[in-house]
Chains A and B, each alone.
Chain A
Amino acid sequence: MRSFGTPEFLFMLQAARWTVILSLIAYVGGGALGLLLAFMRVSGNRLASGFARAWILLFQCTPLLMLLFLVFFGLALTGLGQNAYFAVTVALSCYAGAYFGEIWRGAIEAVPGGQWQASAALGFSRMEQFRHVIVPQSIRIAIPPTVGFMVQIIKNTSLASIIGFQELTQASQFVNNLTFQPISVYLVAAAIYFVLCFPLTLLSRRLEKRLHVDRPGPVSA
């Protein structure tokens, strides 16, 4: 039997690269989807808004693990075979999109009604209102919870191990099977996750404090 040493640790670190890559994919895919859903929600179009609302509700009430299984096995049905990479990408994006969409909708709706009225009274079109008045203010409101949710995504990439994707958690299971030192192995895995997540958590909190105290923003003079 092998003992848990530097090569095993390096093996896990290498697998952690996939944890990071999966997270980045989910940020991009989920971010694009979330943006679309948030704007559908506030579009004023009943059909678009209803669809986005249903999507968000559905995906926020489904376990991510089930989502992974459904995409993974559903994909097999279409004849494309079992592709864990693709399944994880799609499932994480759909999941992250629902949460990002909800966070950003909330941020858009948190802009006071007077801002809509004032810009409407100045003759802005709806797109111009979004672009020049609403979105710049929503971004400030949205950034802390967005960064906070990015931490959730990093942690949730661990579920990819369950359908056989080799990221950090799966690699730790592999190392544990070789070494039978579960406490050391999983504590090290936890530490790697912590190193990835904690800076984002701190950043989110810092931003929250800074943007909260004086929401109207930087003060000159």
Chain B
Amino acid sequence: MEYTFQFGTVFASFGLLAKGAWLTVQLSIAAMVAGLVFGTLFAVLRAFAGRWADRIIGAYVEVIRNTPFLIQLFLIYFGLPSIGISLDPVTAALIGMSVNCAAYTTEIIRSGIMAVPRGQIEAARALAFSTADIIRHIVLFPALRVAAPALGSQFILVMLGSSVVSTVSAEELTAVGHVLETETFRPFEVYIVVTLIYLVIAFALKLLFAWADVAWFARRGRL
């Protein structure tokens, strides 16, 4: 069997691909920021705000972590309109990715908080620190530092997982791939190129996280 690879038609649509890739990057970074902010908040609440906060947030984390992202996305995009909340695809994608990401970051940062030795918190209490001061000065920095590598891996998974939002027709990289596929009838070539773009974004994120780890954490003494 003979098959001639033709990438020409794919490269001709470079502008479209670049636009899709840019939306992928924007969605991913927005979800990472939301995940980091809410994850930190939720993890702190779980550790310091009493039993009910711990239970409610814990339930949220378990539900999200034990159901597929695709189903979560369908509930937001197809389910919410039936109770009167209509969202455009990109907003739905952003909400879905953020809700999903925050559950994982909550768990990761929580184990970072658990890793802070109890003795340090007791020492701070003995020095008359308030709980807020303890969280701010004693707990957060080491916790995030311990969590940093796992957070980096999780963020890359978030970016890779964003390809799924093409199913609710958010026009990101994979969705652009679908469009090109139907225009060119060259699905294999199209998805090879799309995959390569994902690889480039993933490697760039890896480098960025490695750099951030050094810049923020590695220089400030050993744990």
Q: Which residues of A contact B (CB under 8 A)?
A: 58, 60-67, 69-70, 73-74, 76-79, 151, 155-156, 158-159, 161-162, 169, 172-173, 176, 180-183, 186-187, 189-190, 193-194, 197-198, 201
Contact = CB atoms under 8 A, between A and B. Distances in A.
A35 B115 CA distance: 31
A142 B129 CA distance: 40
B7 interface: no
A159 B166 CA distance: 12
Interface of B is mostly: helix
Majority secondary structure of chain A interface residues (helix, strand, loop or mixed): helix
A190 B72 contact: yes
Interface string B187-213: 110011011001100110010000000
B68 A155 contact: yes
Contacts of A76: 187-188
Contacts of B192: 70
B71 A58 contact: no
B1 A79 contact: yes
A70 B68 contact: no
A77 B174 CA distance: 20
Nearest to B159: A63
A94 to B, nearest CB: 13
Interface stretch (B9-17, B59-67, B135-143): B59-67
A77 B188 contact: yes
Given A70-B188, A158-B70, 16 more contacts: A61-B203, A62-B199, A63-B161, A63-B163, A63-B164, A63-B198, A65-B166, A66-B174, A73-B187, A76-B188, A78-B1, A151-B66, A162-B167, A186-B79, A190-B68, A190-B71
